Structure 1
Amino acid sequence: MVLQAPPGAGKTTVVPIVASGVLAAGLRVLVVAPRRIAAKAAARRMAGMLGTPVGQDIGYAVRLDSKYNSGTSVIVITPGVMLKWLQEDSIMSAVGAILFDEFHERGAEGDLGLSLALDIQRHTNRELRIVVMSATLGTELVQQVATFLSAAHQAASAPKQKHANGLASPQASREVLSVAVNIKGPESQRRNGYGTASVPVIVSEGRSFDVQRIYLSGPSGSDPRAFTAAVASAVQQALKDTAKDILVFLPGMREIRAVQGQLSARSALPGNAESHILHGDLPMEAQDALLAPHHAGKRRVILATSIAESSITLPGVTAVVDSGMARQPAFDPRSDLWRLETVPISLASADQRAGRAGRVAPGTCYRLWSESAHAQLEASPKPGMYREDLTPLALNLASLGPARAARLQWLDAPSGATMAAAHSLLSSLGAISADGSITALAIGQMEEDADLVGVLVAVAYPDRLGMRRDSSNRSRPATYLMANGAMARLAEVGDPLGTSPMVAVADVGGHTHRGAKNDTIHLAAPLSVEAVQLHLPHMVEEEDVTTWNEGTKAVERSIRQRIGTLTLKDTRAPVSDDAAAEVIIAMLRKAGMGALPLSKQATALLNRLRWLAAEHNAQSPSAGGERWPDVSHAALEGTLDEWLLPWLVGVRSMADLKALDWSAALRSLVPPSLLRTLDTAAPEKWTSPTTGASFALDYTNSLPLLPAPIAAFFGPLDIVLPSFPSGVTASSATPPPSDSPPASMDLDDSAPGKRKAKKKRRGGAADGGTVQQEGADQGAKSGLTLVLLSPRRSELGRVPAKQLAHFWTVNYPAVRLEFVRRYKRHNWPADPTQPEPVPQSSHGFTVQG
């Protein structure tokens, strides 16, 4: 029989109880659930419906855990247990019906189990009843299964009248099962449109509630950060829109940890909500807690893998966030190995996931893909025969013996090439003999994966996984770094195991020599990184690390798969703008603001802004109440993620940083009203009205400096002097006190290394030092200081701009007397405020004809 009913209809819990009630005494029902958590949850739910403890009338059997007795009438088992039991005549002789639940998942173990059940029905127990159940088989798969079962049923020639130790005929079976479900469609459609004469198909509408499906824009590209952000945003929306628990479907533990971290970083969960994780390797106590009713005032965001897709009911869930992705094994022909890939789910899986929101009340499903993308999804998952590693299947078939294995009927037969590769691997491992029969070595491993012995050892001793260190020195035994951080080596040089890059150690010991412990590997099995990734994904932690590489002076991103201290894989990956900016800002904060690769122009602008802030902010704000920005090192460093972040788009290296328009970045800090006055409040350059040459102002110190040749300042004071807001003009020039001595000038403008020591004299300077004019401190703080340069560009002296008239009167005559003899071709007017117009030299000096 084929039964299709939506989530919550009762196919997993009600149908087994009803079927058990019509079986002859002493016969039991086996329910095959796809996962351990689903098997135990179904058993608990059925036992609760009957008011009996688990293990009495209703029981379960999963790997390493079981609760049932000789009188248990319904036992929920996993596919691995099923395959073992189907080969035990003592067990199967007491089985009257096998119900394959959630068959749409089409695992290779499930298909083998169905083939074995049909083989038992044909050759051992013709009264065995087989029911294939699912919520989302789909019309095509329903017809395929019904036709397959019908052909097998006819081959078995099973009687159709009522039997003493089995279910009634197919028609009677339909009547019994219809107690639990509402049959959909007319009789002719049920028999002829979907089923066959010998294998009926029942389609039920069930009792699930309506689920609204909302399509959201998913992440663009394959950037895991974008994927995580999209899921977190959808969870936030679900928290706003709904009032109860939220179930989030994610591909694996890496994504679960990432989303959980993102929700925490965003402070997305309200005070009455908390996040939980649900996956296959979660301790059973934690799984049980999630399946049990919880405090009504608390909300849960349950981050789960596909384990929550079917067969379990999470109380309180009325919203589902579906990432649309799942992890499944895929064969890589380039490496001849199986790998785990993240792929889009099928329509069947999407419907299953959405149904989780309507188990207890009307719900909402948020899908992270568009409606057009939804129409492109495959109808159902590919059968496990075409997407899984068939080595375990081949080992199970070998345990049956060649004759029985050859007579099995398949819903989808495994390909010959894939099975040949599996046989080759098993033969190389010593698990099967030349004739294809199982060896004694493999008999004890039937419930485990048969990929490698190393996988089994790693399960038992996960901290003893080891990766080979430098293998260039073959004169010493191979040394391995263990997952627990210890070092261990093989006992002998030339041990064949030393060629394996990875081992799983079963027995290790050692001694202490000079304070150092030297462990010796006594028993181990070879292992590959690919085998660990495929068979032990729960042991692998994935780190997504973006750092600044001091060697390359660039941002680098590595995706590392680790087990303890071992790095299984380190893959370089593209760096997003957000991640790169975060790393660059952290690097600059650590190195200090001196590491900013500012251009000369940007450095000058920074000094101007700092001078303006110090000069004006301490007095009073501008007329509009705005202040010049604080661009000190501390202020810039503290606000890097505000002012620099927008400029870091596309920046990945120090070379990119140097190419930034730093002047524009600094100008962005200035309010627009003040930016318009920047060039007048603190001019970048001054152009001499006498010579026409321009000279940059220096704002490094508290008093701005204007270095320029002395001839640049020749001319009327009201025209020559730069005008500042502080009022530095000829009319406001403040002469020093009348008794102030003339400025000390350095008239020796020869090269610094050739200057001769001179005694300090009035009007001169000693040892080539620059002596600031006395009385300079009497100028206003905002005053400008002129740095007078000789024709050789050496500094003659510094004169506050307000005292330039005083300088021309008191100090200039001595300068003119000295330089008129030394630089005869230059014009040295007797009255520098009224110079004769003459040509300008390349040094900014006037030249006489």
Structure 2
Amino acid sequence: MPRSLPHPALPVDAVLPELVAALGAGRAAVLQAPPGAGKTTRVPLALLDADWLDGRDVVMLEPRRIAARAAARRLAQQVGERPGGRFGFRVRGESKVGRGTRVEVVTEGILTRRLLADPALVDGARPVGVVVFDEYHERSLQADLGLALCLQAQALLRPDLRVVVMSATLDGARVARLLGPDAAVVASEGRTFPVTTHYLGSPNAAAGRGRGGRVEDAVADAVRRALAEEPGSVLAFLPGAGEIRRAARALEGTLPPGVRLAPLYGDLSARDQDAAVAPAPPGTRKVVLATSIAETSLTIEGVRVVVDGGLARRPRFDAGSGMSRLETVRVSRAEADQRRGRAGRTEPGVCYRLWSETEQAALRDFAPPEILQADLAPLALDLAAWGATPDELAWLDAPPEATYEAARELLRELDALDAAGALTDHGRTLAELPMHPRLAHLAVRARGAGRAALAADLVGLLGERDPFRYETRVPDVDARLRVEALRGSETLSFRGARLDRGALARARKEAGRWRQAWSAGRGGAAGDLDAVGRLLALAYPDRVAQRVADSAEGARYRLREGRAARLDPDQPLADQPFLAVGDLDDRHGGARVFLAAPLSADDVEELFADQIVTEDRVEWDADAGLVRARRVTRLGAVVLRSAPLAAPPPHLVTAALVDGVRQGGVEALPWSKETRRLRERLAFLHHHLGDVWPDVSDDALLDGLDAWLGPYLAGMKRLSDLGRLDLGQTLLAQVPYAERAALDRLAPSHVTVPSGSVRPLDYSDPEAPVLAVRLQEVFGLEATPRVLGGRLPVLMHLLSPAGRPAQVTTDLASFWRDAYFDVRKDLRGRYPKHHWPENPLEATPTARAKRRR
């Protein structure tokens, strides 16, 4: 390998000696270089020349298959070779490597599989000396996982392993801190030319609602304008292959002479991808219609004009399908800037943006890391196979704990983890398959049951969007019809659905790949369509559904996980007692089913025999106001059998009745006037004297129902039975025996006043017990009655003969001395037949009215 780099020189060449030296002194480095600096095609060459590599290999991670193939080809071309020699690539379904390959460009899933099989990266023809993470700023889940695994392998198994992270926009210092204390940050300024930006001012275009309601129409208009106003080739960004094909159809026949169209997306053949990337022939121009793959990973020769539709597709966990699906979203500011920069690689350029400057200011700075919003079941399975938990690894952004635990629960249902959370043998088999754990579980179990062909077809269908498209209503949700369509029955009636032939073709291609891998042949076994529900239930064990009711909105189902779901009333499957649900929306209060297949109760019991439980269920029926006892056989929330339980255990009946009281609240108990007053006295003592007296507040009583009420419920099972309770005794039972005798002394229920009447004390306000008594009954009483052993005076409500308050006081002596005479004057005027003495302390108290003498 020559020590000099190929010509022409690229901007990154200037910092490569610094990068190589940093990796010689340490074990990790971050290379920050803008798009077009040459990092993808120059760094591997420079690393091969490093003395410290000592004959070991370089593995470079690319986020996409098209980028991996293009990078390997470009690396080989620089030194006059072809891929498969010293420079090769390995992607899903295709590889060009040999024993002499020194630089292997791989996609993210390939790196993870390799690390799980060979954690030290030493089992190839030569050990791996350095792993390069290209375009790490895209922050894919697999890139984050691959980096975390490499860093732990470096720490525990391979201290000589180097790690390089290359990024166009990320905070290099933050990434360097993740890589370790000796990680260096090397920056290349790159080389760019000025780019003039035109905002076309159409907010609808960037939202996907251009002319005709589609972004591809707006992009086609902008491409025609760019060709008319500017020289050079055009790179136009659209979110996906479908939009690219429609934009191409819109542009055909309308382009100037000498301009040709070149689509660029992941599913194209290598020849078509090469044609899109290659320079236009002399005297011609081209229009490249590309997905976001062209943002950073590829260099497209001759482009000086960019048209940006402002949209991208990102994987996002779809709770309805249980899978990660691509979602069309607005680009971030960083992505938009990278796209714009494509126009200034070799000369001044122009960028047309299909949004306004106001919308530009509202764009988020960066796209969110996939790990924060993705389905984490694949990651959880890979970590279980690796033998680590997330907190044992280094992450730029750690996986969210709740999402991760939900993923592990799914893996238990897939038999990939045992009850203790350890990887099972079956789980290890699933981890070796390059597909979602749901689909891997379906495939392994189905192949074991002789259903390999059907498994391949379902894997192809479930990994792709539904080929049945609709405008106003949901087509027939039966998954068996999709299998028939995939197998060639395209003339079937699908309840008015439009067949998406692109999605169907992709599903067929994937299914064919697995049929070949599993030697399944063509077609399907006799009657295998009847097994679609069983296989779908294997992939979605949490979505086994039981029909529970009819409603105006259709048949209602209960999923194993507890959620409600519904089928439209005119769906042919709406009368099925059990369904395996493959796709549904995620609305609260009743999700809508979009894909399902029928199951039988026998299917459920056979498939999930080890997860089905039989239990005696003793529960409170709030509608009937009683305890019901049944023996129930169930799979989660799906009830397979239920029968009355003749003699339920008494403690379970009591617990259910207590639960009924808890649901109804404390006020559901049969409180009498006396028991309410006792409760208020106890609350008063607890308030003033603390925990030596029980807390009888609503919250405390509800929290402690089992302890203070449960023992008194023997033989009861109805709410009406509670009328036999003596709540006073249950409350007093909470008072320590030593304190019980002090109750009447500290908080007496009544007070005997001078008239001889016995008047109750009102403890409803624990701060001040109230004694309500007619004024004439306390003549001669010098001091206010007191409670709490004399520490607290009661609040006296001194009443008129008619029982209306005449005075409120806690100091009776002061009242007699000062306020009484004004009160006496008022009462004499209103009640002249009653005796109102001048000296109340010497007057005779009375509970009866007396005439004045």
Larger radius of gyration: 1
TM-score w.r.t. the length of structure 1 is 0.49
